[in-house]
């Protein structure tokens, strides 16, 4: 397809979208069109959002569409509000059927040309036969293809699919479900509130994980805590100002009535938002068995389909986890294994020192990305003073959970511990790395973090 022809196709797509904004009654005429029929990603996003609004029988015009895209954090990717407004001058309702036909024909031509390219590269006889059959389908108007192929992602969908995206790099994945697992009282809520603050402010979570894109809106559901105690925690993490600014919305045990994850009002609220469920089990309908897990998973997926950017939940570990000196997906999350299966990410927490609220954090599931090594964060006194955790042992310096649990169970103290504390702090002040300090003192890197933390 030549450059001038490509420009003409894009102009037709703009005319089609503009016509829909001017006259919503034209929507039924687009039944034969799919997202892949648009040549530009911005046009696919606009058409997809329109389709969702029409399906839900909501009004579609320049104002409502702009608001929808903004709430889903997609407005800039679609060319901003000025571009949407420019679409209004592009189309004529009387020509709409022609626009649909031209967009569909151009898409069929692009698919045919790509099949020709694949045919040249194909070496296996079966593969060439399949490609030739699909080329024949396209030449015949795609009649045979639409019988069943439309049910599945196309080749172009697959090769153009974006990689895994993160709201917090390497920690909180977009378009996926993240759970924080740990025993009661081991810091799950504190960690999630730290995540909320990082998303709203930007910067780094735990002074290590970069916030890729700040949150437009955060929804926090905590049905097992009253407003009074939770408000105190919000104040500790300096989050009241975000509630006042209309960027953080919380619902506690003190709220009136029951709220289901499939409530239409909640589905509207989560569009483009980061959603936190504390804890997941309190929002689950039914038992923690395979059937209950399926119902819960369907509810979470409904939040994703509604447009939630991220979903993060706290989940209790089985009591037996307290005796374990290792972390796996199975011993970090209580209940059916179906819960772990639906996740994109799971982080396990184990409090290794209650006095200073030192928490060992380890990734036990990472779908489509490489997770960091375990690390240790410390809550006191830093949370009370600044509202932030301290990262006392970063990834690669925390060792294993067994290192810290064995020590609590009676492992001999480090010889001349106080002297080594002094030496470690002096070397740290001189800019030496944990590795250099460990070699100089003849101890492990995890022990260096313990000495510097005074534990």
Mean pLDDT of 210-238: 94
One domain, residues 222 and 342: yes
Any domain includes 403:
no
The model's pTM is: 0.61
Mean pLDDT of 392-414: 74
Provide the pLDDT confidence category of residue 284 given band limits of 50, 70 and 90.
Answer: low
Question: Does residue 32 have a pLDDT over 90?
Answer: no
Listed ranges 16-20, 124-128, 133-137, 286-290; the one with the highest mean pLDDT: 16-20
pLDDT at residue 140, rounded to an integer = 62
| Overall domain count for the chain | 3
Say which CATH number the domain at 214 has.
3.40.50.300
Any domain includes 404:
no
Which residues are registered as beta bridge partners of 168? Answer: 172, 211
Instruction: Give 95 or 123, the one with higher predicted confidence.
Output: 95
pLDDT at residue 161, rounded to an integer = 73
Query: Are the C-beta atoms of 328 and 293 separated by less than 8 Å?
Result: no
Structure-token pair, residue 178: 């993240």
Mean pLDDT of 88-110: 84
Any domain includes 254:
yes
Mean pLDDT of 315-342: 86
Tell me the pLDDT of the chain averaged across its residues.
85
Listed ranges 137-151, 196-210, 258-272; the one with the highest mean pLDDT: 196-210
Which among 347, 374, 356 has a CA at the least distance from the CA of 446? 374
pLDDT at residue 237, rounded to an integer = 96
Provide the angle, in degrees to the nearest 10, between the axes of the packed helices 80-87 and 3-22: 80
Domain boundary among 108, 129, 159: 159
Provide the pLDDT confidence category of residue 412 given band limits of 50, 70 and 90.
Answer: very low
One domain, residues 78 and 94: yes
One domain, residues 299 and 215: yes
Domain boundary among 103, 124, 159: 159
Any domain includes 407:
no
Mean pLDDT of 53-67: 90
Question: Does residue 379 have a pLDDT over 90?
Answer: yes
Mean pLDDT of 9-17: 92
Say which CATH number the domain at 120 has.
1.10.860.10
Any domain includes 316:
yes
One domain, residues 192 and 250: yes
Round to whole Å and give the CA distance between 234 and 451: 31
Provide the pLDDT confidence category of residue 313 given band limits of 50, 70 and 90.
Answer: very high
Any domain includes 405:
no
Mean pLDDT of 285-289: 55
Query: Are the C-beta atoms of 173 and 310 separated by less than 8 Å?
Result: yes
Mean pLDDT of 303-314: 90
One domain, residues 265 and 345: yes
- Which residues fall within 8 angstroms of residue 414, CB to CB, at 6 or more apart? 420, 443, 447, 451
Which among 171, 207, 151 has a CA at the least distance from the CA of 388? 207
Question: Does residue 291 have a pLDDT over 80?
Answer: no
Mean pLDDT of 289-314: 80
One domain, residues 154 and 239: no
Provide the pLDDT confidence category of residue 260 given band limits of 50, 70 and 90.
Answer: confident
Radius of gyration of the chain (CA): 27
Residue 416 domain boundaries? 412-453
Mean pLDDT of 341-369: 93
Provide the pLDDT confidence category of residue 408 given band limits of 50, 70 and 90.
Answer: very low
pLDDT at residue 114, rounded to an integer = 80
Any domain includes 333:
yes
pLDDT at residue 310, rounded to an integer = 95
One domain, residues 80 and 178: no
pLDDT at residue 386, rounded to an integer = 94
Any domain includes 387:
yes
One domain, residues 260 and 342: yes
One domain, residues 144 and 178: no
- How far, rounded to the nearest angstrom, does the alpha carbon of residue 159 sit from its chain's CA centroid? 21
Round to whole Å and give the CA distance between 407 and 179: 28
Domain boundary among 142, 159, 176: 159
Instruction: Give 219 or 407, the one with higher predicted confidence.
Output: 219
Round to whole Å and give the CA distance between 370 and 146: 38
Mean pLDDT of 199-223: 95
**What would the 3-class secondary structure string for the chain be?**
CCHHHHHHHHHHHHHHHHHHHHCHHHHHHHCCCCHHHCCCHHHHHHHHHHHHHHHCCCCCCHHHHHHHHHHCCCCHHHCHHHHHHHHCCCCCHHHHHHHHHHHHHHHHHHHHHHHHHHHHHCCCHHHHHHHHHHHHHHHCCCCCHHHHHHHCCCHHHHHCCCCCCEEECCCEECCCEEEEEECCCCCHHHHHHHHHHHHHHCCEECCCEEECCCCCCEEEEECCCCHHHHHHHHHHCCCHHHHHCCCEEEEECCCCCCCCCCCHHHHHHCCCCEEEECCHHHCCCCCCCHHHHHHHHHHHHHHHHCCCCEEEEEEECCHHHHHCCCCCHHHHCCCCHHHHHCCCEEEEEEEEECCCCEEEEEEEEECCCCCCCCEEEECCCHHHHHCCCEEEECCCCCCCHHHHHHHHCCCCCCCCHHHHHHHHHHHHHCCCCHHHHHHHHCCCHHHHHHHHHCC
Which residues are registered as beta bridge partners of 166? Answer: 173
Instruction: Give 49 or 159, the one with higher predicted confidence.
Output: 49
13 backbone dihedrals φ, ψ, rounded to 5°: -60, -40
Question: Does residue 409 have a pLDDT over 50?
Answer: no
pLDDT at residue 293, rounded to an integer = 67
What does the pLDDT look like over 141-183, one tens digit per residue? 554 444 566 667 777 677 777 788 899 999 999 988 999 999 9
Question: Does residue 270 have a pLDDT over 60?
Answer: yes
One domain, residues 66 and 188: no
One domain, residues 269 and 331: yes
One domain, residues 225 and 365: yes
């Amino acid at each position: 397809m030549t450059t001038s022809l490509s420009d003409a196709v894009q102009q037709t797509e703009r005319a089609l979208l503009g016509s829909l904004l001017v006259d919503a009654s034209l929507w039924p005429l687009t039944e034969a069109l799919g997202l892949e029929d648009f040549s530009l990603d911005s046009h696919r996003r606009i058409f997809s959002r329109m389709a969702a609004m029409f399906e839900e029988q909501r009004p579609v015009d320049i104002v409502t569409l702009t608001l929808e895209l903004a709430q889903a954090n997609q407005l800039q990717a679609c060319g901003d509000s000025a571009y949407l407004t420019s679409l209004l001058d592009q189309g004529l309702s009387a020509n709409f059927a022609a626009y649909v036909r031209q967009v569909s024909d151009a898409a069929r031509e692009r698919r045919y040309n790509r099949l020709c390219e694949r045919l040249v590269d194909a070496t296996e006889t079966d593969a060439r036969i399949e490609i030739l059959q699909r080329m024949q389908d396209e030449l015949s108007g795609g009649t045979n293809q639409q019988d069943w192929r439309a049910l599945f992602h196309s080749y172009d969908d697959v090769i153009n699919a974006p990689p895994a995206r993160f709201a917090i790099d390497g920690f909180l994945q977009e378009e996926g479900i993240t759970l924080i697992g740990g025993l009661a009282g081991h810091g799950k809520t504190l960690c999630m509130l730290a995540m909320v603050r990082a998303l709203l402010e930007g910067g780094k979570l735990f002074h290590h994980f970069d916030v890729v894109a700040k949150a437009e809106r955060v929804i926090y559901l905590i049905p097992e805590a009253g407003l009074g105690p939770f408000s105190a925690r919000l104040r500790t993490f300096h989050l009241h100002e975000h509630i006042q600014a209309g960027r953080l919305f919380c619902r506690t045990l003190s709220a009136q009535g029951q709220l289901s994850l499939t409530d239409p009002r909640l589905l509207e609220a989560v569009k483009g938002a980061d959603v936190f469920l504390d804890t997941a089990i309190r929002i689950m309908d039914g038992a923690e068995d395979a059937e209950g897990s399926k119902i819960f998973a369907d509810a979470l997926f409904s939040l994703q389909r509604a447009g939630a950017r991220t979903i993060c939940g706290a989940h209790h570990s089985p009591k037996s986890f307290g005796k374990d000196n290792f972390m796996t997906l199975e011993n970090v999350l209580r209940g059916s294994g179906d819960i772990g299966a639906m996740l994109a990410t799971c982080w396990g927490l184990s409090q290794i020192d209650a006095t200073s609220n030192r928490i060992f954090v380890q990734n036990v599931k990472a779908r489509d990305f490489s997770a960091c090594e375990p690390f240790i964060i410390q809550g006191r006194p830093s949370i009370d003073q600044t509202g932030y955790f301290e990262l006392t042992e970063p990834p690669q310096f925390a060792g294993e959970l067994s290192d810290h649990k064995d020590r609590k169970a009676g492992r001999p103290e480090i010889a001349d511990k106080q002297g080594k504390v002094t030496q470690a702090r002096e070397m740290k002040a001189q800019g030496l790395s944990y590795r250099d300090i460990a070699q100089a003192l003849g101890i492990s890197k995890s022990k260096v973090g313990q000495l510097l933390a005074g534990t």
